[in-house]
């Protein structure tokens, strides 16, 4: 499984921690984010990762910015992308189980690195429940 990861300046430390954490678990990681704390615009890194996901070059994505909202707003403009924000492990589980999010968005300025790891774990391991949730996600794109 290959996971893309993108971040703005608010998420560099979290990206590095998650890359180490997930690499140790055997996942392949592709870095679309910035590697410095110099200020950048989240959309500039969000769109290339969304394009890679819709092209099948990565299987899933993780995005980090200060609140998560800039990333989610940018990513969700792409057809086929369901980028869901999660700030607790239970929301991480539900954003897969109910929304089948193919990109997990994390608010780096409002969670710790260990919380980010726990949220990612739940999102990666939860099965999508399908059924009524499949019907609902099919209604997202107008
Ligand atoms: C950067 O200061 C901040 O605006 C960004 O990380 C994010 O929170 C935007 O939604």
Which strands make up the sheet holding 83-85, listed edge to edge?
Answer: 28-31, 2-7, 60-65, 103-107, 83-85
- C-alpha angle 93-96-101 in degrees, rounded to nearest 5: 135
> How many structural domains are present in the chain?
1
Q: What is the CATH number of the domain that holds 134?
A: 3.40.1400.10
pLDDT at position 116: 98
The pLDDT profile of the chain, 142 residues, written as one tens digit per residue, is 999 999 999 999 999 999 999 999 999 999 999 999 999 999 999 999 999 999 999 999 999 999 999 999 999 999 999 999 999 999 999 999 999 999 999 999 999 999 999 999 999 999 999 999 999 999 999 9
User: Would you say 105 and 135 are in contact if contact means Cβ atoms under 8 Å apart?
Assistant: no
Give the tokens for residue 82: 């369901």
Rounded CA gap, 58 and 134, in Å? 22
How much distance in Å is there from the Cα of 5 to the middle of ligand 1?
16
| Verdict on whether the full-model pTM lies above 0.95 | yes
CA distances from 34 to 38, 72, 115 (A): 8, 17, 21
Tell me which residues have their CB closer than 6 angstroms to ligand 1: 8, 10, 42, 65-67, 69-70
* Domain extent at residue 88: 2-138
Q: How many CB atoms lie within 10 A of CB 139?
A: 7
């Amino acid at each position: 499984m290959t996971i893309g990861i993108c971040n703005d300046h608010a998420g560099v430390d979290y990206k590095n921690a998650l890359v180490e954490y997930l690499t140790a678990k055997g996942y392949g990681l592709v870095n679309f984010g910035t590697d410095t704390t110099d200020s950048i615009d989240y959309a500039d890194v969000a769109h290339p990762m969304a394009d890679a996901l819709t092209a099948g070059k990565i299987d899933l994505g993780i995005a980090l910015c200060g609140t998560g909202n800039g990333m989610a707003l940018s990513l969700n403009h792409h057809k086929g992308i369901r980028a869901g924000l999660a700030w607790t492990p239970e929301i991480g589980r539900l954003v897969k189980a109910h929304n089948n999010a193919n990109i997990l968005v994390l608010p780096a300025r409002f969670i710790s690195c260990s919380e980010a790891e726990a949220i990612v774990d739940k999102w990666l391991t939860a099965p999508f429940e399908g059924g009524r949730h499949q019907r609902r996600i099919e209604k997202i794109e107008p």
